[in-house]
């Protein structure tokens, strides 16, 4: 577990989280800016989810508001967590159809990027697609598999998650679109991912598991689903058999330079 400078906000006795006005302003800046950037870039299923959630623009939403919609659409809900949680907790939550949301928001100084997932990343980036049954099914299956997996197996599962739920692209009749929450909550990566600069590969879960990544750079490679239903189909395949095959085959050479060592 890495240290974080952020502290998740606690709810009051009624479950209401009070955020200072400055933090509501950060949310407003982030959501109004990002809604413009995702036009013509986000997949329709994500946009449908945005519409269903009806997130406020002038304030940070309360988790109860998000839960009402998620539970009515797919039976999911969000769970309040500290800034960073262990893998075990993460898998336990997903396995019980709860998506972890850290109740803090980035500072104005880190508006464009931060390594810890904040409430904007989790709610704006991920919750819209949790209203979609195919995406929700895959995420639930992923949690159940992770809960039973060994430490080594989890590393391979983590790469699959990174290349799909966080940084996935998909083909649609309208063209190539984004569904990964890590991209959709980042203005820079939303533009970059479809710019023609990074490499795109047809989705292959085995290849995803064998591809190293870094969390602190724009991704050099994105995997492209033929459609969102591919995730639902994958949920009903033997994912752990693929994990074991990937472990036997080993990793590809990284497509990025090594992380600079701290002085």
Asked if residue 126 belongs to a known ligand binding site, the reply is: yes
pTM above 0.85, yes or no: yes
Residue 45 lies in a domain: yes
Whole-number percent of the chain with pLDDT over 70: 98
Asked if residue 109 belongs to a known ligand binding site, the reply is: no
pLDDT of residue 87: 93
pLDDT tens track for 198-246? 999 999 999 999 999 999 999 999 999 999 999 999 999 999 999 999 9
Residue 222 lies in a domain: yes
Q: Which long-range contacts (CB under 8 A, 24 or more apart) does 80-86 make?
A: 80/8, 80/11, 80/17, 81/8, 82/7, 82/8, 83/4, 83/6, 83/7, 83/8, 83/116, 84/1, 84/2, 84/4, 84/116, 86/1
Ranges 72-86, 103-117, 125-139, 195-209: which has the least confidence: 103-117
Residue 9 lies in a domain: no
Checking DSSP bridges between strand 169-172 and strand 98-102, what pairing results, if any? Answer: unpaired
Residue 255 lies in a domain: no
Tell me what the mean pLDDT of segment 37-49 comes to. Answer: 98
Residue 221 lies in a domain: yes
pLDDT tens track for 4-13? 788 999 999 9
* Residue 193 lies in domain: 21-249
Q: Work out the pLDDT band at 83, boundaries 50, 70, 90.
A: confident
Q: Is the dihedral of CA 244, 200, 115, 60 positive or negative?
A: negative
Q: Look at the chain and report how many structural domains it folds into.
A: 1
Q: Six-digit token pair at 32? A: 């109004």
Asked if residue 121 belongs to a known ligand binding site, the reply is: yes
pLDDT of residue 2: 56
Residue 16 lies in a domain: no
Residue 4 lies in a domain: no
Residue 155 lies in a domain: yes
CATH at 118: 1.10.800.10
């Amino acid at each position: 577990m890495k240290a974080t400078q952020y502290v998740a906000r606690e709810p009051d006795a009624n479950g209401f989280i009070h955020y200072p006005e400055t933090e509501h302003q950060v949310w407003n800046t982030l959501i109004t800016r990002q809604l413009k950037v995702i036009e013509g870039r986000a997949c329709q299923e994500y946009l449908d989810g945005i519409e269903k959630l009806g997130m406020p623009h002038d304030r940070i939403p309360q988790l109860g508001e998000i839960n009402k919609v998620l539970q009515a659409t797919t039976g999911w809900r969000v769970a309040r967590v500290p800034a960073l949680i262990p893998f075990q907790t993460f898998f336990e939550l997903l396995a019980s159809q709860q998506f972890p949301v850290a109740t803090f928001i980035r500072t104005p100084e880190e508006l464009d990027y931060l390594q810890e997932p904040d409430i904007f990343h989790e709610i704006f980036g991920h919750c819209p697609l949790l209203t979609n049954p195919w995406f929700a099914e895959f995420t639930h299956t992923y949690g159940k598999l992770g809960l039973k997996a060994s430490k080594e197996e989890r590393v391979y599962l983590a790469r699959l998650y990174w290349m799909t739920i966080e940084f996935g692209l998909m083909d649609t009749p309208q063209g190539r679109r984004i569904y990964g929450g890590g991209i959709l909550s980042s203005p820079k990566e939303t533009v970059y991912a479809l710019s023609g600069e990074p490499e795109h590969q047809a989705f292959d879960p085995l290849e995803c598991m064998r591809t190293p990544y870094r969390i602190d750079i724009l991704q050099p490679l994105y995997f492209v689903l033929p459609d969102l239903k591919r995730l639902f189909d994958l949920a009903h395949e033997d994912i752990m058999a693929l994990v074991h095959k990937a472990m036997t085959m080993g990793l590809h050479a990284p497509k990025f330079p090594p992380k600079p060592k701290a002085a």
